[in-house]
Amino acid sequence: MNVDLYDFELPERLIAQTPLPDRSASRLLTLNKSNGATTHETFGNIVGYLQPGDTLVLNDTKVIPARLFGIKEDTGAKAEVLLLKNLSGDRWEALVKPGKKLKKGSVILFGEGKLRAFIEEEGEMGARTLSFSYDGIFQEILDALGQMPLPPYIKEKLEDKDRYQTVYAKHEGSAAAPTAGLHFTEELLDEIRSKGIDIAFITLHVGLGTFRPMSVDRVEDHVMHEEYYILSRETAELLNKTKQRGGRVVAVGTTSCRTLETVGNQFKGGPLAESSGWTSIFIYPGYEFQVVDALITNFHLPKSTLVMLVSALAGREHIMAAYKEAVEREYRFFSFGDAMFIY
């Protein structure tokens, strides 16, 4: 299957640079995956599309201030590090700039030496394995020295760091926010609960795959990077009850979707159970969903793995038509953009 099948024209002006002051004021395009029918709402009206007995699944990962600016110890040249995945202890997978000058054996200093990074290994496209040394508590040092890892297309500085966190963010470990969740407020979640809709949480720490574009011509040749997930016993039991009573499992974001389908594939044909580990699941058309019935998500990059995921759920023709409609109506795209509900 050719990657170009998932291409579309996206004017640069539609890439959202800043978040709206009101989280739930974003626009919402709904898409019926059976017939391709669409409607246009504000996100606060999502509750009208959820039904008693449904379960909404949220990713409660928390973004760490993973972007660090420092200097090379030997030359004083500027260096940038984006932490992606904690490998063990003080060892991390990261992206570095400038990649050509930050070689194996290099040392980077941050905060006048309060934090030191030694490059252990070199990977592709700027990827490195780093080991850190410091005095004190790593997370406290990172909070003091690090910046929020906003996507590269967001040029404006984010004054409120919490605006790149969901209101339910809990477990630290992500290099990017699960952005579909940014539309929810505590008040909207309370309104959803009051309608008889359950809310469950999973954790998937967003990592390297978020920052890597497709570099192959055939969809089947793309290799996804691993991300760590946790599905608790409580969530597994709630999802089993949801299916038993005929309710829908509504994933909030592609990260929640990928976690649920990873676990669903483990227990195919049977009830879900507590699970954790690393997932590299790649969902594209032809995939048969095991758990997810509906999905709340943002609008994604042309030819991206995320456009392929939503196409697997709703069909490529329906997605391409809905995206064309979104562009024509000037919906806002990407992390701080508008939302889509596929049901």
User: At which residue do the structure tokens 């990657």 appear?
Assistant: 3
Q: Assess whether 307 and 266 both reside in one domain.
A: yes
13 in Cβ contact with 156 (< 8 Å): no
Q: Assess whether 36 and 173 both reside in one domain.
A: yes
pLDDT tens-digit map of 27-60: 999 999 999 999 999 999 999 999 999 999 999 9
Q: Assess whether 170 and 55 both reside in one domain.
A: yes
Question: Does 150 map to a domain?
Answer: no
Q: Which two tokens stand for residue 94?
A: 């990261």
At residue 212, the pLDDT reads 65
Query: What predicted TM-score, i.e. pTM, was given to this entire model?
Result: 0.91
pLDDT tens-digit map of 225-240: 889 999 999 999 999 9
User: Which CATH number covers residue 282?
Assistant: 3.40.1780.10
User: Which CATH number covers residue 123?
Assistant: 2.40.10.240
Question: Which of these ranges, 87-91, 105-109, 165-169, has the smallest mean pLDDT?
Answer: 87-91
The residues, ordered by sequence, that sit 6+ positions from 224 with a Cβ below 8 Å of its Cβ are 209, 280, 281, 282, 305
Q: Assess whether 106 and 77 both reside in one domain.
A: yes
Distance of alpha carbon 110 from alpha carbon 189, whole angstroms: 40
Q: Assess whether 122 and 267 both reside in one domain.
A: no
Question: Does 153 map to a domain?
Answer: no
Domain ranges, residue 136: 67-145
pLDDT band at 210 (very low <50, low <70, confident <90, very high): low
Cβ-based neighbour number of residue 32 at 10 Å: 15
At residue 135, the pLDDT reads 95
Answer yes or no: is pLDDT of 287 > 80. Answer: yes
**Average pLDDT, rounded, for the chain:** 94
At residue 99, the pLDDT reads 86
pLDDT band at 154 (very low <50, low <70, confident <90, very high): confident
Q: Assess whether 26 and 97 both reside in one domain.
A: no
Answer yes or no: is pLDDT of 278 > 80. Answer: yes
Q: Assess whether 190 and 278 both reside in one domain.
A: yes
Q: Assess whether 167 and 131 both reside in one domain.
A: no
- Number of domains observed in the structure of the chain: 2
Q: Assess whether 203 and 82 both reside in one domain.
A: no
55 in Cβ contact with 197 (< 8 Å): yes
